[in-house]
Each structure stands twice: as C-alpha cells, then as structure tokens.
Amino acid sequence: MAEFSVVEMAMRQIDRGAEALKLSENQIRLLKCSKRILRTTFPVEMDDGTIRLFTGFRCQYSDIRGPTKGGVRYHPNVSEEEVIALAAWMTWKCALVDLPYGGAKGGVICDPLKLSERELEHITRRFTAEIMPILGPDKDIPAPDVFTTSKTMAWMMDTFSMFAGYTEPAVVTGKPEVLGGSKGRKEATGRGVAIITREFYRAQGKKLDGCTVIIQGFGNVGSHAALFLSLMGAKIIAVSDQNTGLIDKNGLNIQELMNCTDRNRCLEPYIGATHTKPDDIFDVKADILIPAALENQIRKDNADSFQVGAIVEGANGPVTPDADEILEQKGIHVIPDILANAGGVIVSHYEWAQALSGLYWEETEVNEKLEKKLVSSFNEVWRRSQNLKIPLRTAAYVVAIARILEVYKYRGIFP
C-alpha cells in the first residue's frame, strides 16, 4: 500500500517549492486550488448486447496561463484523486516549460486489454459527449495517455466535431497525421526523456556512451525512451511491462522488443532475454532507472534498495515524497516528471498551434523546436538547483510556481 495518495504527493511537492520561495499562505492556497472536476457515469452497449456502466473524470486544475491541457487514460485504477493530482502536475509542467496552458487530466475506469476496439470506440465517444461542455480548443484540449492512442483522439475529435457542426482538429492533440496530428508527436515524450537524461549527464561533464539503463514500463514512453537512449550510446539492460521483466546485462535489442509489443501488446513472448517478475528489474544495478509506468512505484519501503546513480521520471508521480528524501540521502539524483516527460505536451502545443493556423511543419523542424525548448528548460532548473543548493524537483517547482504567481500578479483575483 502506498504511503501517500497521489493528491497528497502533489501537495507535498508544492509545499517544498513554496518553502524554497518563502510563499505566503494566500499564495499557497491559490496553488493548491483545483478549479473544476467533472465526474460522469454513462452506459455503453457491449459486443454481447449487455449494458455496462462506466465512470469517467475530467479535472481542469488551473487555467490561469491559458486553456487547460492534459491526457485521458483508460485504466482500472483511474480515480477522482488520481486525475486531480495528474492535472496539478500538468499545471506545473506547462508552466515549467513555459507553454500557454493550464493543466488538466481525464480518465475512464476500465480495462482496455479486455475490451474490443468497437467497445473502446463507444466508451470514447460517450465519454467525450459527457465532457463536451468543458471541452474546446480555447477551453480544454485532451491528448493520449495510459492505454489511449492516436485513434482514441481521432474518435474524440470526430465526436466533438459532430456536435459542433464543423471539423475542429485543434480540440485534441496526439491525433493521426492525416487528421492534423503533428509529426513527431508519438515519439515526443520518450524522445524528451532521452534528451533530458543526456543533458543531465552533460551538465556534469559526462557522456551517455556505455551507461546502463533500466526502464520500468515499455509502453509508448518507455519504449521510445529506450530507443533514443540506445541511439545516444546507452545500453538498456532491463525492461518491464505489467506482467513481465526482461534482463540482459549485455544490452537488449530495443527494436526487436518494440516489434514484439507491436505484435503482441506485451513483452511476454520475447525470447531473447532472461524473463523475471516485473519488479525484479528494480534489483538490477545500473547507472539510470527510468520509471515509465504508473504513480507510487518508488516508495519508502523500497527506495533504500535501489542501486542506480539517477532516476529519470518518465511516468507522472512514480517517486513518493518520503522516497525522495531517502534517495537524496543516498546521493541518487531524481530528474522530476514535470521536466523529464514534458516532451509530449511541448509537441502537443506545436500540434495545437499547427491546427489553429493550418500550417504544418516537417518532423525535423518539430524535433529541433522540441530539443531547444527542453534544453533551455533543463538549464534553468539546473541553475536554480545549483544556486539554491536544492534538489532538481524542488528547483523545477520553484521555476514553475514563480511563473504561475507572476501571472496572478498581473491578472489579479476576480472580481
């Protein structure tokens, strides 16, 4: 059992940033206030003719910097608390990398691995219809997340467009390219994790060549982080999904693993490495660990056992506050989620801007813009960390919170 709820984790992280900035109680109240949460329960006719009820949520945490932005996930453990915390993290993430967005998050309680494509489409279209009043390219813009894809976003876009009476490609991001999706969007989060990892090493005068990496979670983010890190010279020695761990101290063939998951939706059939339980990869000694699965994976009860030099958060909220303190004492650097996995929302912003303008960029241009934005954001966090002698997570919150409060300074409190 986790020692913190995800909302408590998010609030604790705000507290550390607020302490470093010496904020007033009024300022802290503003930061901890979630603007809106929509909860809906809706019926769907299943393939066998039965009617099932599904529950979904959409939280818009803050729109002080612009329309809210954030993913939609399908998972059995989706909850109201989870989407509030994820929307809060999205708020700080957008502020940290200086995008004109607030943070949002959504989800539906379901197990997509046990649903047909037709059932997933019906769930998506009905959920979109339920949250229509708060959606829009100038209100709230969803994107893919855990167990949702570009096809999910196509269904959401089409449903919104049918109700609106016109085609609106800017209402979601992460769409297929043929519908106005940006080139490079699918790979963006994983690419960003690799870029931030490289910059962390570069800031210390080191290179990634030969560094050993463990990746927990081999979905879109974890697999692309593995691919780009391997292209940068790192060696991926262990990976896992929800059912299987794979270990090869000589280095795994990432393209073969990606082909396996494309065919089978899991790692289990892969025969080119030692199979273990998923959590067994945490026992492997390596230079870098990338948790790219779900929240609350590195906790007080297991943090002391890790044998890594740095943790780069590909997932949102994988390290609890108590674990942060243990890792800090052990000298293990943690590159926080709001920086490490910001590549996805950065390219989502580019996709939104392209959809609004009707002008589209080549993949090289998208990737160049992404790299420039991430390198600049990392350097700002690194400078704050070094100058104030604070952990990278706290430094990231200092930058993000300062930007949000600067907007409040000029906009004020209505009325």
H-run or E-run covering 351: helix 343-357
Report mean pLDDT in 10-residue bins for the chain, 415 residues.
Answer: 77 94 95 96 98 98 97 96 96 98 98 96 98 97 94 98 97 96 95 98 94 96 97 97 94 95 91 93 96 92 94 95 94 96 96 95 97 98 96 97 96 92
Q: Is 275 helix (H, G, I), strand (E, B) or coil?
A: strand
CATH fold of the domain at 34-166: Rossmann fold (3.40.50)
Query: Distance (Å, rounded) from C-alpha 28 to C-alpha 45?
Result: 45
Is 320 annotated as belonging to a binding site?
no
- For the chain, the domains span 34-166, 187-340
H-run or E-run covering 39: strand 36-45
Out of 22, 32, 105, 207, pick the active-site residue: 105
6 with 12: CB under 8 angstroms? no
Is 69 annotated as belonging to a binding site?
yes
Residues 6+ apart with CB under 8 A from 139: 67, 68
CB atoms near residue 205 (< 10 Å):
6
Is 348 annotated as belonging to a binding site?
yes
| Of 105, 167, 95, nearest in space to 131 by CA | 105
Is 220 annotated as belonging to a binding site?
yes
Bridge partners of 36? 60
Active-site residue flag, 105: yes
- Here the tokens at position 198 are 């490289």
345 with 143: CB under 8 angstroms? yes
Bridge partners of 55? 41
187-340 carries CATH number 3.40.50.720: yes
H-run or E-run covering 406: helix 392-411
Residue where the block lists tokens 């998208």? 366
69 with 104: CB under 8 angstroms? yes
Query: Distance (Å, rounded) from C-alpha 59 to C-alpha 68?
Result: 9
Do the domains 187-340 and 34-166 match in fold?
yes
pLDDT of residue 2: 54
Question: What single letter denotes the amino acid at residue 200?
Answer: F
Is 189 annotated as belonging to a binding site?
yes
- Here the tokens at position 135 are 């959606």
